Amino acid sequence: MVEKLRDTPKIDELMKGPWPSFVKEIKLSAKLSGRAGERANDLLGVLERSYNDKIGHWKHGGIVGVMGYGGGVIGRYNDLPEEFPKVAHFHTVRVNQPSGWFYKTDVLRKICDLWEKHGSGVTNMHGSTGDIILLGCATEDLEPVFADLTEMGFDLGGSGSDVRTPSACCGMARCEWACYDTMGACHDITQTFQDELHRPAFPYKYKFKFAGCPNDCVASVARSDMSIIGTWRDDIQMDAAAVSEYAQSGKFDMQADVVGRCPTGCMSWDGQKLAIDNRNCVKCMHCINAMPKALAPGRDRGATVLLGSKAPIVGGALLSSVMVPFLKMEPPYEDLKELAEAIWDLWGEHGKNRERVGEFIQRIGMSNFLEQIGLDPIPEMVIQPRTNPYIFFETEEEE
């Protein structure tokens, strides 16, 4: 047990106030007995130092990982190892979360015990991509941590130029709007591509995110190379009596707030009856969100597959764009897997180092990309056709 916690007047300011404090969390871990406590205590010290210096004290990179894997561990070193020896190596271990982030307490407690024994007692629940993050592993502890994890039935997630840990919204487990089994698909894809996840062989990272409906609770359209967003093709299901109840509830103004906000103006309300021109509904979810008891997605359900979103690095931020307007999402998800593999083949061969799929498509051209992976160009893929006449006509003889 650490005799005395590091003196941290600056960050102690962040113990105050009603919102839960991360400083309090680090201190809880610093009070643990054994090495975990010592390490968390030095983390407090480093952080206090950063708050005084207004600069981070971490270095990155290098060769660090478990045998055989190229992903799952991210090297982190402190630049003040003499002052803070217990966090000189303080690597990140990414542990692949179960789909939908559901846990039983027995398994969570086991993870806690492991991280008290081998680590720092500090975690992120969860990291940005979805993994359980164990923060601060020493190099020599990596193999023991991995052995204990696999014994508990867990494995590492992705990092580097590989398939990153896929994630999913809770979907059918707890949401009436799920248009396919997000957790099932996420688990299946994760298991199928274990090799691609652990042994980086791509130009850069490749993320999958599974959202059950166009509300996109996992931000797949912005945060994944392959965004699989649930949707439906037939009519919205409606319970007219429940619609009337909402209309009378005073919760909102049916005309202004629901009908008036439909992006395609395909709804009408005569004061009694709600009508939807389903042919023109773009499945935005607005009316369903407003009246969950009265409206529901149709019965012919599947997903829209979009491709290519990313953060700004390197060539600017992108949102995903439509590849397949509607795909039935049934196990074993062969169509989705074939599409992913066709993309990897092409991008793997011609992509530049650190070039995400979205950037790759922009560089080689969408039409060219579609031709290579064997998809036909369709109007659903664009907002509008081109407005410039600079067309690269293919001039060879037509057959």
User: What, of ligand SF4, other proteins, none, does residue 22 touch, CB below 5 to 8 Å by kind?
Assistant: other proteins
Whole-number Å distance between alpha carbons of 193 and 384? 35
Cβ proximity of 10 and 52 under 8 Å: yes
- Restricting to residues 337-396, name those near other proteins by CB under 8 A: 348-349, 353-354
Cβ proximity of 285 and 215 under 8 Å: yes
Whole-number Å distance between alpha carbons of 305 and 61? 34
Tell me: does residue 194 bind other proteins (CB under 8 A): yes
Whether residue 332 is preceded by a cis peptide bond, meaning omega within 30 degrees of 0, is yes
Question: Which residue lies nearer to other proteins by CB, 129 or 323?
Answer: 129
Cβ proximity of 192 and 267 under 8 Å: no
Whole-number Å distance between alpha carbons of 185 and 225? 16
- Restricting to residues 377-396, name those near ligand SF4 by CB under 6 A: none
Distances (CA, A) of 142 to 37, 74, 93, 216, 380: 18, 11, 8, 35, 47
Closest distance to ligand SF4 from the beta carbon of 227 (Å): 11
Tell me: does residue 284 bind ligand SF4 (CB under 6 A): yes
Whole-number Å distance between alpha carbons of 254 and 234? 23
- Restricting to residues 204-233, name those near ligand SF4 by CB under 6 A: 211-213, 215-217
Question: Which residue lies nearer to ligand SF4 by CB, 58 or 377?
Answer: 58
Tell me: does residue 47 bind other proteins (CB under 8 A): yes
User: What, of other proteins, ligand SF4, none, does residue 269 touch, CB below 5 to 8 Å by kind?
Assistant: none
- Restricting to residues 158-177, name those near ligand SF4 by CB under 6 A: 169-171, 175, 177
Closest distance to ligand SF4 from the beta carbon of 250 (Å): 20
Q: Which residue has the tokens 């599947």?
A: 302
Question: Which residue lies nearer to ligand SF4 by CB, 290 or 364?
Answer: 290
Six-digit token pair at 378? 């369709």
Tell me: does residue 285 bind ligand SF4 (CB under 6 A): yes
Q: Interface with ligand SF4 by CB under 6 A: which residues?
A: 169-171, 175, 177-178, 211-213, 215-217, 262-264, 266-267, 276, 281-288
